[in-house]
Amino acid sequence: MIDFTRREFFKLSTATVGALSIDCSTFGRKKAKGETGTKYSFCDMCYWHCGIKVKVVNGRVVKITGDENDPLSRGKLCARGQAGIQQLYNPDRLKKPLISTGKRGEGKYREASWKEALDYSAEKLLKVSEKWGGPEATAWLCHCSCGGLFGHLAAAWGSPNSGGPAHALCIGGREIASKLTFGRPVGEHMPVDWENARFIVLIGNHIGENSHNTLMQDFIGALDNGAKLAVVDPRFSTAASKADWWLPIKPGTDTALLLAWMNVIISEERYDKEYLDKYAIGFEELKNHVSEYTPEWAAKITEIEAGTIVQIAREMAKYGHHAVIPPNRHVSWYGNDTQRMRALFILNALLGNYGREGGFYFAAKPWVMEYEYPPSKLASAGGGCGGGGGGLGSEVLPDNVRPRVDGKGEKFLYGGLVEPELFKAMATGKPYPVKGLVAAGTNLFHSMPNVPRVKKALKNLDFYLCVDILPQEHVMWADVILPDTTYLERYGDLHAVPHKTTPFISFREPVIKPLYDTKPGWWIARELGKRLGLDEYFPWENYEEYLNTRLDSLGLSVEEIRKKGIVKQPQMSKPYIKDYESKGEVVPFKTPSGKIEIYSKRLKEAGLDPLPKYEKVEEPPDGYFRLLYGRSPVHSFSRTQSNRWLSKIMRENEVWVNAKVAKKLGLRHGEYVALENQDGAKSNKIKVKVTERIRSDCVYMVHGFGHNTPKLKRQHRKGASDIALQTRYKLDPISGSCGLHVNFVKFVKSGGRVS
Ligand SMILES: Nc1nc2c(c(=O)[nH]1)N[C@H]1C(S)=C(S)[C@@H](COP(=O)(O)OP(=O)(O)OC[C@H]3O[C@@H](n4cnc5c(=O)[nH]c(N)nc54)[C@H](O)[C@@H]3O)O[C@H]1N2
Ligand SMILES: Nc1nc2c(c(=O)[nH]1)N[C@H]1C(S)=C(S)[C@@H](COP(=O)(O)OP(=O)(O)OC[C@H]3O[C@@H](n4cnc5c(=O)[nH]c(N)nc54)[C@H](O)[C@@H]3O)O[C@H]1N2
Ligand code: SF4
Ligand SMILES: [Mo]
């Protein structure tokens, strides 16, 4: 992303008169009988945040549709977006603040008023600080849209032990690799220039199952335009079903394939020499480095024929910068994830596609003023929640703040909080006790590996506060539970979206009043903050006032933006290198050298490989299969399984097993089995899917099922959870990414269940 200053923004805006004005032309406000109206917002069933229009009749939400004017939905929504209604009206929702009356994990609660629950929580959190040496003794984990203000509160509180699962268990390795190589993160909306791409290679990256609205539209658009597609996946994914080539790679060997592709492109001199001379450093070192990684060498490792490896490399190179290998998002696979992603980015650089048509564009962020708060104690350390990439710098903490407990600097170099290591610290009390936890919008028993250790960590706490919308299992372990509203019942922060042609800002407001005795996340964060003595970080009285202050910087107000829900800033767009060079501006590769760093001096100086190497991953023992997992297009993570509409489309997950393996093991299609991992951890019962669409050395399931709480009626014991089988992970020494593909399972025929 490109961040603009206020001065740059106004300079650009005056050049394009009227670009700031809100276009109200398309929104008909016709009211049907009894209708209360239609409001703009943006979806929060996943973080793609598509613009929506919500129709309310007699105070009840009856329909959610995509906003045609919104570049992230273009008038369309996925199934989850439409089923937001059933998140709002889910009868299982948390309805009142609850205070525990039993032991942690017993699930016994009494109802409380907001005042009592907040006073009690603040008192407990302050006591943790007093007893255990300061704010570092409380960890803050936040994800989702509520994360914004809880992240703000966490930063104001001043604990470096704050983060969200989207770093170490998701994109961390990718973002760090991209920053090391291009000096910029990939960012949320995948800046691939789909409309000009002619050759696409997907590695993992199961687009179509992993469903991001406009990304799927753009991907299909590219195929409709005639782009060729190669999919590298041990499983015949939905994307593979659309591909010209399916390369069923042996799991864990992608770096070998990427190195062999580089070998072919370099040895046959098919790279973009001019581009590399001008914009990159370290090509000669790479040339020497990959000379030994021949297609024949890679064929033995990857189990993809050498001829196919050569053919795809030549095809790719034929299209030059119109060929692209988009990174996947969930890269925490094997513990060598940053190097694998570096290999992928370097291969893209050889094609000369970064900042060029058909490759990656520079995604410019729209401009709107940030709210000016007093500086937080940890501003320099990037304290706060959320997730994402994390910086490349070492953490600069004030003298009186203890460092993170997750081992940054010792176990890994860069990036945001590594939660699994946080839970290890909580469970062991080392390097220092962390005795308080605030979790908002993060599923501790479905997103974090080694759940038994997470539970042990929770038992060690003095105080655990949870802010959620559903009585998920981990929620029912908290000492205090605060019921958030859903996104349809609350204001949200302005969403500033980097985009190729139309950077824009979207707006969220409550479409109906909060149901039950729930309160919006921003209100909860503010009330808690005030009770923790952090009033100065919440100077505004209500969220409208906060939003108006920010919008004022654009000459707008809540009253105006709600008419359209979106402000577009096309004048900010600068997608290609040529857009910089034609203006005599520096191309923004923000690395120390100002160029694409094929060879990384930073890694070398840290004693790590400056160029990516292939490292062998552990093989499954005899009788075991590598456990792979992914997404269903109709569910988000572990949070939508109790949604009435979505559970009708997909009620349980299945375990995919190769037909020959099934025959050998006597497994029948549709029968229920349990899985047991290398450490003896067992899953709930799960249906067998016998298929030719997967290799014989691995099995596959969709993440997010296997909930063991009767409080979530529709999802109780439906399918099995991958996390129950992920008792170990491999830590990436660069980004702290926690590779989960290192767990192996075998089939247990009698079925079974574990908690
Ligand atoms: N509907 C829906 N969409 C989602 C989400 C959701 O919950 N629901 N979650 C979103 C989030 S946060 C993320 S991070 C993304 C995740 O989506 P992706 O980034 O696409 O995730 P991956 O792990 O790359 O994709 C899993 C694929 O990788 C394959 N795979 C497994 N091991 C290997 C290997 O060793 N090599 C290769 N080449 N392939 C392998 C699997 O068979 C599977 O097809 O999805 C996002 N989109
Ligand atoms: N085993 C395994 N682990 C994984 C993954 C995997 O595929 N397999 N995927 C990894 C990836 S890619 C990611 S991004 C992370 C995702 O990790 P999480 O963000 O922990 O994912 P969810 O399972 O969606 O949990 C979200 C929680 O937020 C709650 N929630 C939903 N809406 C709201 C709201 O409006 N307000 C509040 N306060 N709470 C809300 C839900 O009830 C749920 O408890 O998990 C990672 N961990
Ligand atoms: S992709 Fe689907 S779930 Fe995600 S924001 Fe868009 S409509 Fe909502
Ligand atoms: Mo993710």
343 and 396 assigned to the same domain: no
CATH at residue 720: 2.40.40.20
80 lines ligand 3 (CB under 6 A): yes
430 and 339 assigned to the same domain: no
Q: Looking at 299-388, which runs of residues are DSSP E strands?
A: 323-324
Of 570, 605, 640, the residue at which a domain comes to its end is 605
Ligand 2 centroid, distance to 463 Cα (angstroms): 22
481 and 422 assigned to the same domain: yes
Contacts of 416 (CB under 8 A, 6+ apart): 163, 164, 167, 168, 172, 382, 387, 388, 389, 390, 736
400 and 477 assigned to the same domain: yes
Domain presence at residue 542: yes
Spatial separation of the C-alpha atoms in residues 669 and 205, rounded to whole Å: 27
The model's pLDDT over 346-398, given as tens digits with 9 standing for 90+, comes to 999 999 999 999 999 999 999 999 999 988 767 544 445 555 556 776 667 77
Provide the percentage of residues in the chain whose pLDDT is more than 90: 87
Exposure letters 639-650 (e unless 16+ CB within 10 A, then b): bbbbbebbbeeb
Domain presence at residue 275: yes
Q: What local confidence, expressed as pLDDT, does residue 715 receive?
A: 86
What residues does the ion ligand 4 have nearby, CB within 5 Å?
Answer: 170
Ligand 3 centroid, distance to 414 Cα (angstroms): 30
156 and 225 assigned to the same domain: no
pTM score, whole prediction: 0.95
Q: Is the pLDDT of residue 184 over 70?
A: yes
Ligand 2 centroid, distance to 640 Cα (angstroms): 10
Spatial separation of the C-alpha atoms in residues 464 and 731, rounded to whole Å: 26
Q: What local confidence, expressed as pLDDT, does residue 391 receive?
A: 72
Spatial separation of the C-alpha atoms in residues 596 and 342, rounded to whole Å: 11
CATH at residue 430: 3.40.50.740
The model's pLDDT over 729-752, given as tens digits with 9 standing for 90+, comes to 999 999 999 999 999 999 998 654
The count of structural domains within the chain is: 3
Q: What local confidence, expressed as pLDDT, does residue 749 receive?
A: 84
442 and 524 assigned to the same domain: yes
Asked if residue 630 lies in contact with residue 656, where contact means CB atoms within 8 angstroms, the answer is no
Q: What local confidence, expressed as pLDDT, does residue 401 receive?
A: 87
Spatial separation of the C-alpha atoms in residues 1 and 278, rounded to whole Å: 22
Mean pLDDT across the stretch 171-191?
Answer: 95
Domain presence at residue 89: no
The model's pLDDT over 556-604, given as tens digits with 9 standing for 90+, comes to 999 999 999 999 999 999 999 999 999 999 999 999 999 999 999 999 9
Q: What local confidence, expressed as pLDDT, does residue 20 receive?
A: 42
The model's pLDDT over 447-506, given as tens digits with 9 standing for 90+, comes to 999 999 999 999 999 999 999 999 999 999 999 999 999 999 999 999 999 999 999 999
Q: Is the pLDDT of residue 325 over 50?
A: yes
Q: Is the pLDDT of residue 289 over 90?
A: yes
Domain presence at residue 500: no
- Residue whose CA is at the smallest distance from ligand 2 atom 11: 170
Q: What local confidence, expressed as pLDDT, does residue 399 receive?
A: 79
Distances 423 to 157, 386, 397, 477 between C-alpha atoms, Å: 20, 17, 22, 15
Q: What local confidence, expressed as pLDDT, does residue 561 receive?
A: 97
Q: What local confidence, expressed as pLDDT, does residue 18 receive?
A: 38
What are the structure tokens assigned to 185, written together?
């993160």
Domain presence at residue 568: no
Range of the domain at 681: 625-753
130 and 249 assigned to the same domain: no
Q: Is the pLDDT of residue 28 over 50?
A: no
Mean pLDDT across the stretch 269-292?
Answer: 98
349 and 431 assigned to the same domain: no
Ligand 3 centroid, distance to 399 Cα (angstroms): 43
Measured from CB, residues less than 6 Å from any atom of ligand 2 are: 143-146, 165-166, 169-170, 330, 440-443, 446-447, 467-470, 472, 484, 486-487, 521, 629, 636-639, 703, 722-723, 726, 740
Q: Is the pLDDT of residue 673 over 90?
A: yes
725 lines ligand 3 (CB under 6 A): no
- Of 455, 452, 477, 454, give the one whose Cα is nearest residue 466: 477
Domain presence at residue 200: yes
Ligand 4 centroid, distance to 591 Cα (angstroms): 26
268 and 301 assigned to the same domain: yes
Contacts of 262 (CB under 8 A, 6+ apart): 286, 290, 293, 343, 346, 347, 350
277 and 145 assigned to the same domain: no
Q: What local confidence, expressed as pLDDT, does residue 1 receive?
A: 54
537 and 585 assigned to the same domain: no
- H-run or E-run covering 748: strand 744-748
Mean pLDDT across the stretch 534-562?
Answer: 96
162 and 198 assigned to the same domain: no
Residue 106 bridge partners (DSSP): none
Q: Which among 637, 702, 737 is the best mutation to test ligand 2's pocket, defined by most ligand atoms within 8 Å of the CB?
A: 637
- Residue whose CA is at the smallest distance from ligand 3 atom 7: 81
- Of 651, 643, 660, 714, give the one whose Cα is nearest residue 686: 651
Q: Is the pLDDT of residue 546 over 70?
A: yes
Report the mean per-residue pLDDT for the chain.
92
Domain presence at residue 560: no
CATH at residue 252: 3.40.228.10
Domain presence at residue 22: no
Q: What local confidence, expressed as pLDDT, does residue 385 receive?
A: 57
Q: Is the pLDDT of residue 5 over 70?
A: no
Q: What local confidence, expressed as pLDDT, does residue 392 receive?
A: 76
Q: What local confidence, expressed as pLDDT, does residue 753 receive?
A: 42
Q: Is the pLDDT of residue 33 over 70?
A: no
